[in-house]
Amino acid sequence: MIIRTIDADGDWTFGKGISSYRRNLLALSQHIQTRLLEWKGDCFFDNEAGVDWNNRLEKRQQLEPLRDEVRTVILKTDGVTEVINVSFNFNSINRGLRLDYSIKTIYSEEIEENTINI
């Protein structure tokens, strides 16, 4: 797998030749991150892509359906063979969500505790 590197603001990087691309495990990790940050209904060519963050974060009791939806998005990513763990940490002060996950990949390596802040 080869994909263009994104910077801290989520923009593609250019002008660095081959350094503007990520390969294999780093590419897979970035691809999962961008898929999880995608909001359902936000992609013009696939309204079902992404996570339904609006409805899932409305009520705290919907944690299990959110976990299932995140697992499904991760598992449907090319290169992921198994989702080991998905956990959430809500911060009520800044109303943030930290998502941690562990997976197994086709590259015979695990990505452990990769964190995404939503």
- Which among 30, 64, 34, 62 is positioned nearest to 50, based on CA atoms? 34
Q: Rounded to the nearest 5°, which phi and psi values hold at 26? A: -65, -40
pLDDT per residue as tens digits for the range 16-68:
888 888 888 888 988 998 898 888 888 888 888 888 887 777 655 567 888 89
pLDDT per residue as tens digits for the range 4-26:
988 888 888 888 888 888 888 88
Q: Which domains does the chain have, with CATH numbers?
A: 2-117 (3.10.450.40)
pTM score, two decimals?
Answer: 0.82
